[in-house]
Structure formats: C-alpha cells, structure tokens
Structure 1
Amino acid sequence: MAQKVNEVMTPVPVAVSPDTSLVEIGVLMRQHGIGDVLVVHEGRLRGLVTDRDIVVRAVAAHRDMSGTTVADICSTNMITVAPDEDAEAAVRLMRRHAVRRVPVVDGDRPIGMVSIGDLAVQRDERSALADISAEPPNT
C-alpha cells in the first residue's frame, strides 16, 4: 500500500509571522537545523523562505538583515500538498516544479513539511540522500 504524505512529512513546521526579521529567521534555522521556514498570518500559509532565498534575495542584494522582513523576500507562489495524498504525488510535484520541499496543508493551514530527504528515506532508507538526510545538521 502506498504511503501517504502525512506518514513521511515532518509535522509541526517552524512558522513565523510576515514581519519577522531575517536575523530572527537565521536564528530559528540554526536552532532547529532546518533550511526553510513557513510564513503564516492568522493561521494561514502566506509564504515560504529558504536559506537560499536569504542568500540570493537579501545577502547578495546587500539588504539590511535586521531591517528586512521575511515578507520582503519569501516566496508566495507555493506548491502545496494535502496530508492524505500519496507520497508519490509529492515526488511528482517536486519534479515538475523543481523544488526540494513542499508545505503540507489542510486547506490553507500548514501542518507539516515534506522534503526530498523525507521522501528519499521513505523510498530507500539505504540511499545516499537518505543517509545524509538522517544526519544531524552542521552547526
């Protein structure tokens, strides 16, 4: 039987309000060992910011990290997946849209995050990507 997204996702993703500074986002990413944070307003998913977004849209653009908010640089045109969809649906979405992670939503409320690493572990726990994904983050 095919696994569902809610069986492979990381539940309770880290989320912040749109007015959170990029410095605060960086601190959260370091504390949690993650490379993505959801942007949520009134419980609804409004955006996604990744470590790459911070580098490309803020650092490389010489933006003030303390004065720039996550709303200024986050992606708002997101691909999402429902928790009861097959995990293979998430794989297809990632391939089609060339993304490494997809927010899991119940309606427009975020409940998890599914990453390429989560799916690698689900598909073949002995793969190199699964091994790397299982390792603790570099700090």
Structure 2
Amino acid sequence: MRIVACNGYALEKEKSNSPEDFFNRSTVKYIQAGEEKVLNVLYLRYFDEMIARWTPYSQNPVFKSLTRDIYMADIIALICLIKEPSLSSRKRIYINSEKELASYLLNINFPKLEEVFRSIEQAKPYDIKTYLDFYQS
C-alpha cells in the first residue's frame, strides 16, 4: 500500500440546525493494487480533547512535520487503515464511541507515523510494506 496524502479538518455548519460543527473528518488517500482509493473517517471533535489518554501527545497539534502542524484529524484515518486493513474495501467510517477510537489508537508506533508525513511532504508517497512496523513492540 502506498500512502499519498493524509488530511483532516473540522466540519462546519451548513444549516443552523445541523450538528456538523461537532465533527472532524480525517482522510487518507492511498494506492492499493494500482487503484487510488480514499478512506474518510468522521468522528466526534470532542475526542481530540482526550488525546493524552490514548497517545503520547498532550495536545493539538500532535507534532510538527517539515512544514506543517499535524493534528489528530490528520492522522486518524491513517491509523484506522493501519489497524484494520479490511477498511480498504470501504470509503467511509464513523466513530462515535471513545472505546472504538481507543481501540484504533492502542499500541500504535506514533513516531513511525511522523515518517509518513515527512515523506508525503517531500512529494514522496510512503510505501507500507508491513503493518507490523506501525505497532509498538
């Protein structure tokens, strides 16, 4: 699998009665078997306030890559795809429980994620040879 881009952003209200401003969208664009795919993860923005529970980071941005700050919303979709490769058959998922998000973040090698972002920023897609590289030992 070749990771091409990872981005995240806060949704904004389109209608006054819409709950969209409570959510973040995280997106990972990747190439698998010669086909470009995108996985979108929608999750409650409130979870960003709990990042210290599940990650080595204490706040957003979680780390700085070469030229940009990286936020939780930028890494969630990538982590989901790494933890559950079967998600490559899906286009979108929705995470609405702390327990579910925590299960994705458990035992992730976060410094390895930083390598992915450095590579992408240098316009070099990141090749994942084995998902095991992204797990803490």
**TM-score, with structure 1 as normaliser:** 0.27
Q: Which has the larger radius of gyration?
A: 1
Comparing both structures, which one devotes a greater share of its residues to strand? Answer: 2
